[in-house]
Structure 1
Amino acid sequence: MSKRGDRVTNKGKRGSRRAAAERESSRSGSRSKTRKSTKKAAAAGGGSRFWFWIKRLTFWGGAAAVLGAIFLAFAVGFAARSIPSFYQLKSTQNAQTILVRARDGSEIVEIGPSFGEWLAYDDIPDNMKNAMVAVEDKRYYSHYGVDPIRTTGAVIEGITGSRSRVGGTSTITQQLARNVFLNSNRTFDRKAREAVLAMALEWKFSKEQILELYLNKVYFGGGAYGVDSASRKFFSHPAKELSVAEASIIAGLVKAPSRYSPTADVQAAVNRAKVVLRLMKEQEYITAEQASVDVDTVELKQQSGQNSVRYFTDWALPQLDILLPETFAPIEVWTTLDVGMQRAATASISANTPEGSQGALVSVDRDGAILALVGGTDYVETNFNRATNAMRQPGSSWKLFVYLAALEAGYTPDDRVVDTPVTIDGWSPRNSNGRNVGETSLRTSFAYSINTVAAQLGNEVGFGTVASMARRFGVSSPVSTFPSMVLGSSEVRLIEMTRAFASISAKGKSVEPYGILKVTTAGGELLYEREKPRDTALIPDYVVAGMTDLLQAAVQTGTGRAAQIGRPVAGKTGTTSSNKDGWFVGFSSGITTGVWMGRDDAKAVPGLQGGRAPARAFAAYMRYAVKDRAVEKFDIELNLPEWRLEPDEEYLFGDPDDYYFIDEQGNLVEPGRRDPAENPFDVDGERPDAPPTDEPPPAVSEDFLERATGGALPPDPSGVGGPPGILEPSQQRPPPAQPPPQ
């Protein structure tokens, strides 16, 4: 039973496996048939699948387009609501305009944007409107802020790199949106916002209003915003009078104001204008005869200004932050600058500065008004102002302060000094020629810039005294008190040295350079006017006379002979070691001028000396500067005060009744009194009770008289022989040595 059961069981298993195999075979056959049928269906319906995806893409693309249009409409609508009104846009300006005038009222430069007169659409000449549309946006009147054809062309241009098209890639409306609301960054985000804002402008304003805003706000170069400002700048007349040729020049500037500016490159401006005329003819705005106008005959405005004026304005205009309350309204600044003198100063520096070097000049009137200021040979090349900002060693021109201190201490120009080798605290100055002349006068030592004498004088009066004298005369730069400072080792600015010499020219009165006379609004309202400062005497008259004597001698017979101009001149040269700096500072007929030359990297300049190129530049400029002024002789007569003339040494201190004294007990003695004032801090309150007497005290004691006349002597309380008041020979001092005759 068990065996049969096993056989039955095995048979059943084999049957199950056979049935499973048949079922699997059946399923495999079914799958094979299904795959075959699918392949046949795919082969039969391939075209229908393509159209299926096309339909799907079209559907979703259309949906996306609808959503994008809705989003764009919302964006444009929101932007349109945010845009200021037409009248608000008219009144907005990008920045403050500053018109700078010379001392005679003539215009010398305009800083910041210039907007001219706002012109209504009907007041703008048709030639100007047509020229702008022709060259910048020929489909302006048919698009809605963004030109699809223009945009497509821009995309193709970006892909192919083609540069054949004349116009830009933005419509006039897009340009207006960029100029008013955006920056010039070339990013997709900015271009997208520009397009939205352009459509918003088209939604909110008419074509005429948009073109009016554009033509009154677009930048034409040279600081000119708007057609009226551009017309006045380039042609000296209002935009209402623009001719076809002039309109074509202005319209051509928008693409690249700096490249096509007629003040920068006349030929480039003319060539661009010819392109504009051709486009106007092609678009039938003008006739062939009008398009053939000779643009070369257009009369451009003469640019009277020179780039060196910017050195002056860079120094003067920042002072407005202090002189005026904060304002963004257009203003006019009336300055002290003389246009003719500025031109002469520029020419003198340009003609005399050694090749590869820089030159600077400052010229001030007797009251400190700056008449001319040149900070370098070319402002366009480098705008660093060497007249007001550069710190350079002044060389021997610094001896002005050394000799001022010596004159104030009691020297006169005729006093004798000795040119001899000297060593001060280990420092041994040498003269430029390497020789010593021995005994000479103070005048000669200054005229020939003898270094050893200056060193001795500085050591005698004190180097701190010399530094204090420089401070007194307006030098604000750091000044050392090392011995070498007497030869100009401390760096200073040219304007500081010029100021110091100007104070000598002003009879010892303090002079502060200034450049702004008054400031008004564009309508003439006075905002600021300079008040004359109070005169402050820096040194006595006799010191001024003595210093002027020395300065005049330096030009007449000394190192500054090249600065002579046929009338009295006083001044001083300065040359630093290895000819790194050359200076000449002097004055004549009330005008003080300082000249500096050298390299910005402080390298040596072969042959550069203060008595050569700087002195020649000074003379070339001053001949023009003083030509309309009377010849003025210098007052060099020494009217010494009484205390300087009195031989009694006591009078070296002046009249005793004019001074306060402190007695041996520390009590204050008032002027005109010899009795000490009552000491409020004296606890005992004791005062000498001896009544004052009008008789002078005896010259010697009675004891001495008795001794001298043979009378009896009282006993010596000290036990030392000899009368009281008489010193033993060993205790006596030798008489003071008398100075040699001078």
Structure 2
Amino acid sequence: MARARPRPSPGPSSPWRRRIVRTLQVLFGLAALALTALVIAVYVARSQLPDFDTLKSSPNGQMIRVHAADGTVIFSQGPSYGRWLSYDSIPQAMRDATVSVEDKRFRSHLGVDPIGIARSVQVRMQRGRWVQGGSTITQQLARNVFLTNQKKFGRKFREWILALAMERKFTKDQILELYLNKVYYGGGAYGIDAASRLFFGHGADHLSLAESAVIAGLVKAPSNYSPTADAAAAVGRAGVVLQAMQDAGAITAAQAAAADPQGLQLKPPPKQNSVRYFTDWALPQLDTLIDEQDRPLDVYTTLDLGMQTAADAAIRANTPASAQGALISLDRDGAVRAMVGGKDYVTSIYNRATQAVRQPGSSFKLFVYLAALEAGKRPEDIEVDEPVTIDGWSPRNDSRHNSGPVTLRTAFAYSLNTVAAKLGQEVGFPTVADMARRFGITTPVNTHPSMVLGTSDVRLIDMTRAFASVGQTGVAVTPYGINRVEADGEVIYTHQTDRSHVLVAPNVAAEMIDLLQTAVNTGTGRAAQIGRPVAGKTGTTSSGKDGWFLGFSSGLTTGVWIGRDDARPVPGLHGGTAPARTFAAFMGPATRGRPIEQFQTAVTLPDDALANEEEAYFGEPDNTAGVSVGGGVDADGNPLPERVPPSASDQGAGPPTDGSDPLGDLIEKTTRDEQSPPADRRRDDPARALPRNGSSDPQPEERPNQ
């Protein structure tokens, strides 16, 4: 029998084929392990999830109650919940709107939508940033109830696990019911019933299609699409929701067209006083003061309700109709006693006391004179008020007058720009900038020569802080608004005031106070008098765009700013008019219960040469374009012919020959009983107190010497 030929043995397999097989085996093994781990994690999470009734009864979010200085609750912050609506009680339009715009595959996915994730990754690669999150309704619910909004992969992975676990434990209807009753819709409202009552004034069980579209559109960005904050954005977003509903087949094109979100009537917003400006500023500071994130908090603040009411009334009464106003008042230790960021918080939540940056005008001269005094100057030292040019810049006094030799006290009282420029040049403009930063100016300060007239933008709170530090004899004052914080009755934070930071020597601060009180008693700030010693300074910028007054009395420092948000001129606005009057209207009642405190130095009168010409320094039109013997400049900076002022034959000579005695009147006005202010410290004709229109003045810094 023939022997069978042996079969040839297969040749050795190629190395790359073996590597591929092994790699696939490893990958399949890892995938199996990962899938097993995922299943285990999901079912472990499922076993630890609260039941449906527990989730219904557990509100999320930290409650915060804010108290005024006297303990009165002035604001509550935290979740606001309406009535819980069962799935069947939620209007079909609201359910469809939410699913259509937030998660159109809600009914088909397992809690995580791979298609949505892939789409978000694709958009990320196309646009270079995350535009779509790919989160399902279940993921959003898991994040809102159990997690935070921290954007890290670890948090996202836990979100996936929880979403998959929730889908294993609850039905789709239960998940949607939880979501619609717990998701945040803005304005402190959690759940559709709270949102419906907040925006439309009725319960969510009566939501129309248009109202449902508006509320469903809020989830993506509650602050951006809030109908009370931006009606146009809310309407536009509602249109997106209606289109999504139409694309999903939830409504017809005719129903979408008939919804008309623009015709919705919003619930009138509740009247809110200006304390919200203060709470909006103070509460974010909790993040740096305490670590407590869960227990309810009681925050006890420095706000004095009586002073706050007076501040609000003063701003409303003295701010021109076309303008906005802001006021902040600090106690001697930096405690914020009043803060008004605008005329109406409901209309505008923008806090002009802490957020707005505007040019301070001549109020910035505080730092010029502080630098000069620290360099050895004294209030009695003589400087010549004369035309001056520094690096091509030629400042002019608002009066277009130059008065020759004057003391620093006189120059400050009447806010002479030429003298401030010469002082800045003498001490160095970087030195002035350093002084401003030393006293708490946090915005950039330029070192151009015109900076001495306040061309660098500043914040009102920073300027007020600087004046308060001068009032405290040069010791730094730091504004604060929170005295202590309690969590469930336990004190977890108490404010400690630091009085160790000395900014300038006490004698320098005392000399600065000397100048400041002269400016109020006899200079540009006379409208700020309140019948007790006041030290302060006015400020007005080019064409009356900004008006400032900052000053202190009886341990209370108050800063006032008035202007338009669009920086357009306000007719007749000067630091010595509306801002100074606002200061007086507030400080009168604010200091009523405080003892009268005298300053270290008595009031010293400025030079009589300017007292005789005081109208020129308070805006009296001067059609003759004349000035005192020292000569002057016209609107273009050209020298004017010399002329003798009508009240004297030479500079600083005695009283006029017509029998009047302006200097005597000034002395009498200054030395009268401080507790009994005259009935009217202003001119009979208020229009005469307004400086001339400076629109032809090309200088960027400021027009009035105020």
Structure-2-length-normalised TM-score: 0.56
> 2:455: which partner in 1?
489
**8 Å Cα contact 2:91/2:205 also seen in 1:** no
The Cα shift of 1:494 comes to 0.8
Comparing 356-365 and 371-380, the one that deviates more = 371-380
Instruction: Give yes or no for the alignment of 1:582 onto 2:505.
Output: no
Q: Equivalent residue for 2:484? A: 518
Deviates further, 531-540 or 359-368 = 531-540
- 1:352 has 2:318 as partner: yes
Q: Where does residue 559 of structure 2 map in the other structure?
A: 594
Alignment of 1:682-701 (within 5 A): none
Q: CA-to-partner distance for each residue in 1:697-742, whole Å, 9 max, x for gaps?
A: xxxxxxxxxxxxxxxxxxxxxxxxxxxxxxxxxxxxxxxxxxxxxx
User: Relative contact order (C-alpha < 8 Å, sep 6+): which is higher?
Assistant: 2
Give the equivalent residue in structure 2 for 1:42.
Answer: none
Report the Cα distance in structure 1 between the residues aligned to 2:108 and 2:305, rounded to whole angstroms.
49
> One-letter code of the match for 1:168?
P
Looking at structure 1, the residues matched to 88 and 401 of structure 2 have their Cα atoms a distance apart, in angstroms, of 84
Offset of residue 380 of structure 1 = 2.6
Change in CA separation of 1:617 and 1:184 when aligned onto 2, cut-off 3 Å? farther
C-alpha change, 1:251 and 1:478, in structure 2 (3 Å) is closer
CA contact (8 A) 1:219 1:254 kept: no
- For 2:308, give the aligned amino acid: Q
The structure 1 residue matched to 2:92, chosen from 158, 169, 173, is: 169
Equivalent residue for 1:342? 308
Alignment match of 2:497 (pick from 532, 542, 557): 532
Deviation at 1:621, TM superposition (A): 1.2
Deviation at 1:384, TM superposition (A): 2.1
CA displacement, residues 290-338 of structure 1 (integer Å, 9 cap, x when unaligned): xxxxxxxxxxxx98x8342222222222212211225133322211112
Range with bigger deviation, 248-257 or 105-114 = 248-257
Q: Cα deviation per residue 1:527-546 (whole Å; 9 max; x = unaligned)?
A: 21112214222222221221
Residue 506 of structure 1: how far off its partner (Å): 1.2
Give the aligned partner of residue 586 of structure 2. Answer: 621
In structure 1, what is the equivalent of residue 157 of structure 2? none
**What is the distance in 1 between the residues matched to 2:516 and 2:99?**
58
- Taking a change above 3 Å as real, the CA distance of residues 352 and 435 of structure 1, as seen in their structure-2 partners, is same
Partner in structure 2 of residue 105 of structure 1: 71
Aligned to 1:380: 346
Give the conservation status (yes or no) of the 8 Å contact 1:220–1:253.
no
The alpha-carbon deviation at position 98 of structure 1 amounts to 2.1
CA distance in 1 between partners of 2:404 and 2:538 (Å): 22
Correspondence list, 1:372-451, <5 A: 372-451=338-417
**Aligned 8 A contact 1:221 1:253 in 2:** no
Q: 1:519 to 1:90 in 2, by over 3 A?
A: farther
Q: Partner amino acid for 2:336?
A: I
Q: Which residue of 1 aligns with 2:621?
A: none
Do the aligned partners of residues 254 and 525 (structure 1) sit closer, same or farther apart at CA in structure 2, a change above 3 Å counting? farther
What amino acid maps onto 2:537 in structure 1?
K
> Is the CA contact (8 Å cut-off) linking 2:533 and 2:599 kept in structure 1?
yes
CA distance in 2, matches of 1:328, 1:545: 49
Residue deviations 1:35-84 (CA, integer Å, cap 9, x gap): xxxxxxxxxxxxxxxxxxxxxxxxxxxxxxxxxxxxxxxxxx9x998973
* Matched residue type, 1:472: R
Shift of 1:220: 11
Partner of 2:421: 455
| Distance apart, 1:253 and its partner CA | 8.8
Q: Distance in 2 between matches of 1:569 and 1:611?
A: 14
Q: Which of structures 1 and 2 has the bigger CA Rg? A: 1
Match of 2:117 in 1: none
Assess if the C-alpha contact under 8 Å between 1:115 and 1:229 holds in 2. Answer: yes
For the aligned residue pairs, the C-alpha RMSD in angstroms reads 4.3
Letter in 2 for 1:532: T
Asked if 2 retains the 8 angstrom alpha-carbon contact of 1:349 and 1:377, the reply is yes
Structure 1 contact 98–332 (Cα < 8 Å) conserved:
yes
- The answer to whether the 8 Å contact 1:376/1:382 transfers is yes
Deviations 1:225-257 (Å, cap 9, x if unpaired)? 699999xx99xxxxxxxxxxxxx9879898879
- Structure 1 contact 582–596 (Cα < 8 Å) conserved: yes
Residue of structure 2 equivalent to 1:676: none
Is 1:549 the counterpart of 2:472? The answer is no
- Distance in 2 separating the partners of 1:204 and 1:540: 71
Aligned counterparts of 1:459 and 1:421: Cα–Cα separation in 2: 14
How far off its partner does 1:486 sit? 0.9
2:684 matched to which residue of 1?
none
Whether contact under 8 Å (1:97, 1:114) holds in the other structure is: no
User: Which residue does the alignment assign to 2:598?
Assistant: 633
Deviation, 1:97, is 2.3
* Shift in CA distance, 322/218, structure 1 to aligned 2, threshold 3 Å: closer
Aligned with residue 369 of structure 1, among 335, 345, 361: 335
User: 1:286 — aligned with what?
Assistant: none
* 8 A contact 1:311–1:374 mirrored in 2: yes
Q: Following TM superposition, by how much is the alpha carbon of 1:107 offset from its aligned partner in structure 2, in angstroms? A: 1.0
Matches for 1:650-661 after TM superposition, within 5 Å = none
2:272–2:346 Cα contact (<8 Å) kept: no
Q: Compared with structure 1, are the counterparts of its residues 461 and 399 closer, same or farther at alpha carbon in structure 2 (3 Å cutoff)? A: same
Shift in Å, 1:472: 1.6
Contact 1:220 1:254 in 2 (8 A): no
2:272 is aligned, of 297, 306, 319, to: 306
- Aligned residue identity for 1:462: G
Count of residue pairs the alignment pairs up: 452
Find the aligned partners of 1:576 and 1:183 in 2 and give their Cα distance. 54
- Do the aligned partners of residues 529 and 87 (structure 1) sit closer, same or farther apart at CA in structure 2, a change above 3 Å counting? farther
- DSSP-derived class of the 1:373 partner: strand
Deviation at 1:436, TM superposition (A): 0.6
Distance, in Å, in 2 between the alignment partners of 1:399 and 1:378 is: 31
Q: Structure 1's 394 and 186: CA in aligned 2 closer, same or farther, altered over 3 A? A: same
Q: Separation in 2 of the partners of 1:361 and 1:625?
A: 13
Contact 1:443 1:553 in 2 (8 A): yes
Paired with 2:99 and 2:484, the residues of 1 have a C-alpha distance of 36
Conserved 8 A contact 1:394-1:488: yes
SS at match of 2:92: coil
Structure 1 position 487, deviation (Å): 0.8
Q: Gaps spanning 5+ residues in structure 1: where?
A: 1-76, 117-127, 148-166, 235-247, 266-301, 639-742
Q: Distance in 2 between matches of 1:183 and 1:587?
A: 59
Give the CA deviation at 1:385: 1.9
Deviation of 1:222 (Å): 6.7
Contact 2:193-2:203 within 8 A present in 1 as well: no
Is the contact between residue 545 and residue 568 of structure 2 (CA under 8 Å) also seen in structure 1?
yes
* Aligned-partner SS, 1:403: helix
Contact 2:475–2:499 (8 Å) recurs in 1: no
Q: Which amino acid aligns with 1:550?
A: L
Q: Which residue of 2 aligns with 1:324?
A: 290
- In the TM superposition, what whole-angstrom CA distance separates every residue of 1:414-436 from its partner, at most 9, and x where no partner exists? 22222111112221110011111
Shift of 1:223: 3.8
Deviations 1:110-148 (Å, cap 9, x if unpaired)?
1231469xxxxxxxxxxx9xxx9xxx7xxx8xxxx558x
Which consecutive unaligned segments of at least 5 residues does structure 2 have? 1-42, 112-136, 142-164, 216-226, 229-268, 604-706
Change (3 A) 1:418 1:516: same
Aligned counterparts of 1:417 and 1:460: Cα–Cα separation in 2 = 11
Which AA in structure 2 matches 1:516? I
Residue of structure 1 equivalent to 2:434: 468
* Percent identity over paired residues: 59
